A and B are shown apart, each in its own frame.
Chain A
Amino acid sequence: MIVKLRGLVRAFIEFVVLLFQRRQVIWELAKRDVVQKYVGSRVGLLWTVIHPLSLIFIFWFVFGFGLKAQPVDDVPFSVWLTAGMAAWFAFSEILAESTIMIVANPHLIKKIRFPSQILPVVKIVSSFINHLIFLSLLIVLLLLYRVPITFFALQVIYYYFCLTMLALGISWLTSSVNVFVRDVGQFVQLFLQITFWATPIVWNLDIMPVKVQNILRLNPMCYVVNGYRQAFIYHEPFWLNLREGLHFWTITLFFLVLGALVFRRLKPHFPDIL
C-alpha cells in the first residue's frame, strides 16, 4: 500500500515536472486549439464572447423574465446566474473537449513521441480564454448592479483550481477510454446535460427539502458553483464549508488517481488503435 502510494506521488511529481518542461508545447498547442476553432470564420475570436453572452441572455430571458425568477438573496438573478454559469461552463468545456482530444490529434500520438497526458492540460489552458470572458462579464454585471467586489473575490482562483483538477481527473479517464470506445464522447455530452440541471446553477439549492439538498450536495460541482457565488456575491471565506471542501477533494483525488492509472495503462495502446 505504502509502496503504491509512493509510486503515485512520484508519478505526480513527474507529471508536474513534465508540465514545466513542456510548457512551450502546451502553450503552442493551446494557441492552436483556440485558433483552430475559429479559423475560417468571419468574426473569429468574437465568437468566444458571443457564445457566453447569448447563453446568459437565454437563461436570463427564460428564468428571470419569463418565469419571473426573484432576486436571490437580494442579488439580481442575472448576476447570481452568471456566477454559477462561469464555473459550470469552464468545467463542461474542459471535460467535453478533452474527452475527444486524443482521438482528434492522431498525428501527435501516432507519428511522434508525445506525452499525450498533457492534452487535457492543453484544453485547460485554451479554455481559460472563455473563462476570462465569462468572469469579465460577471464583473461588468456586478458593477452594473452595484454589488460590491471584495477581496473574497480572489477565492475564485482557488475554486477555479478545484474545477480544473476535477475536470483533469475525469478527462484522463474519459479521453483514454474514448480511444477504444468512441461512445464515451457522446456519453459525456449527455452526462454534462444532465448534471447541468442537477447542479444548482439556474436554481437555488435552498428551495429543495433538506433531505434532497444533502443528496445534491454529493455532486462535487455543487461545491465549486457555490464557491464562485461565495467569492463574488456572499463574500464568505472558503473555510466556512470545510466539510463540503473535504468531500470535494476526496472525490477529485479519487478521479485523479483513477484517471491517471487508467490513462497510464491504456496509453501504450493509443498508437496501435488510432
Chain B
Amino acid sequence: MSDRSEHCAIKVSHVSKSYRLYDSSLDRLKEALHPFKKRYFRDFYALNDISFELPKGQAYGIIGFNGSGKSTLLKIICGVTKETSGKVEVQGKISALLELGAGFNPEFTGRENIYFSGVLAGISRADMKLRYDEIVAFADIGEFVEQPVKSYSSGMMMRLAFAVAVHVDPDILVIDEALAVGDARFRHKCMAKIRSFKDRCTILFVSHDMNAVLSFCDRAIWLDEGKMMAMGEPKEIAQLYMEASYEGTRQIIERQARFSGDRAGENPDSSINGENNSFEEIKSCNGKVDSFGLGNATIMSCTLLGENGKPKEHICCGEQVVLYFEMKIDDYIEHPIVGFAVSNHLGLMVFGFNNLIPGGRKLEPFHKGEQIEVKYAFLWPDVEPGSYVFTIAIADGVLDEHEHHHWIHDALVVNCFRDERMVGMFNIGKVDLQIEKDNRCPDGK
C-alpha cells in the first residue's frame, strides 16, 4: 500500500468542499471564533466525496459542465483553498495555471513578476536569471514585459503566466482551462509544450476541449455537480459526458419549446401549431433561428438519429447516422427538392445532399395537408472533429432554378469527434507511403 502511494503524485481521498453561504462576513467571523462552534451558515457542496489517485508521470483530464467543481478541485489540490473534509496528498512541486496571471502583482512589470513567481516556486533570483530569456521568448509579448502587468490584455497575461508556469521545473503541472483565452497559434504552442512535458511531469488538466483530453490524457475524470460521475479511459468518459450533455441540452430545448409559443409569422393557421405536439419537439431549433421561404411547406422537426434509432448529438467519424425530418405541406409543390447541407464551425459548407443530385431521385408532387417524413441514412464522413451545423430545406423546381418554401439555417448542431489525429478538414484514409533513398549521397556506401 505504501509502495503504491509512493508512485502517486496526487492522492485525493474523500475530499469534500462545502461552501458555507453566510448572510454577512460578520457571521462568518463570529462562527470562526465561536467557542462552541455555533453554525451560522447554509451548506453548499461544491465537491462531494471525491477520491482518485494520479500516478507519477501520467496525464489526467477533468471534464464537466460549468460549476461542476473542476476548478475547486484543482484549487484544493494546489492548496489555495482548504478542503472541508477528506485529505489531499501531493508529492512534488506543483506549478499551477489556475487563473490568469495567478500571483502576479498588477502594479509591477512583467519582468519583476517573472522573478517573483520564480522565487515563490523556490527558484532563486540567480537561477531565474538564466531562464529569463527563455521565458520571455516563449511568452513572446515583446516590449510589454517591461510594462506593469495591469496594462496587459488577457491574452498577454495568459502567455506570460503559462511561460512562467512551465519554466520553473514543476513535478506536477496543473492547468485549468486557462489556455482558452490564447489565440490559436499560442494555444498550439502551449499544447506542444505540455505534450513535451508529458514524459517527465505529471499533468492534471481541466478542459472543455474534448479533443485535447482525448488526444493526450491517460485517463479522464468526469465531475458533475461536485460528484465524481466516472473515471476511466478518455474515450469512454467522453462518450458518457457527451451523452449527458446531450440530455442536458434536450432538457433545455424542451424547456425553451414550452415557452416559445407559436412560430412567428411562419404559419398563420393556428390549427397547425396545435398538431405540433404530435411531432417530436425540437421547435427551438427553428423557432427563432434563421429561416425563410414561401411557406407552402413547413419543416416541423428535425433530428439526427444513431444506429439504434436514438437521437444523437455526438458522432464518431464513420458512424452510421440518419437525418430525419418531418414536414407539413400547406400547399401544392410540383417538383419537390428536399436537401440538407452540413457546415463546419467556420461556416464553410463541408458536405450535403438533395434528391436531385446523383444518388437521389425525382419525387412525386406534394399535396396540401400531407405530412412528409424524410430520412437520409449515411455514414458520417471522416471529417475533422468539431461542431457541425445542419441546414435543411424544401424547395420547388430544378437544381438551377427553384424557389425555397422553407429553409432552416441552423436546424441542428452536432459534435463530431475522433480519437486519432488527422490533418486538415478531411481525412484521406489509407495512404500508400513509399520513400526511396538515394544511395549516391556522399555518406552512403
Contacts and interface: CB of A to CB of B under 8 A. Distances in A.
Interface in A244-274: 262, 265-266, 268-269, 271-273
Given A111-B99, A265-B33, A271 B25 contact: no
Interface stretch (A24-32, A48-56, A73-81, A90-98): A24-32
A181 to B, nearest CB: 6
B82 interface: yes
B80 A111 contact: yes
A273 B25 contact: yes
A242 to B, nearest CB: 35
Interface in B1-42: 19, 25-26, 28-29, 32-33
Interface in A91-128: 107-108, 110-114
A36 B107 contact: yes
Nearest to B161: A111
B29 A181 contact: yes
Interface residues of B, number: 32
Given A32-B112, A107-B106, A112-B103, A271 B28 contact: no
A218 interface: no
Contacts of B26: 180-181
B28 A32 contact: no
Interface string B83-105: 00000000000101011011111
A24 B29 contact: no
Contacts of A113: 78-80, 94
B105 A114 contact: no
A-side interface mostly: helix
A24 B19 CA distance: 34
B127 to A, nearest CB: 11
A102 to B, nearest CB: 14
Contact of B108 (A32, A112, A181, A272): A32
B249 interface: no
A233 to B, nearest CB: 41
Interface centre among B75, B101, B107, B119 (most CB of A within 10 A): B119
Nearest to A182: B25
Contacts of A269: 28, 32
A117 to B, nearest CB: 14
27 contacts: A24-B124, A25-B119, A25-B120, A28-B119, A32-B116, A107-B101, A107-B106, A111-B80, A111-B99, A111-B101, A111-B102, A112-B96, A112-B103, A112-B120, A113-B80, A177-B29, A180-B26, A180-B28, A180-B32, A181-B25, A181-B26, A265-B32, A265-B33, A266-B32, A269-B32, A271-B81, A273-B25
Given A28-B115, A28-B125, A181-B29, 12 more contacts: A25-B120, A39-B107, A107-B103, A107-B106, A111-B98, A111-B101, A112-B78, A180-B25, A180-B29, A271-B80, A272-B81, A273-B25
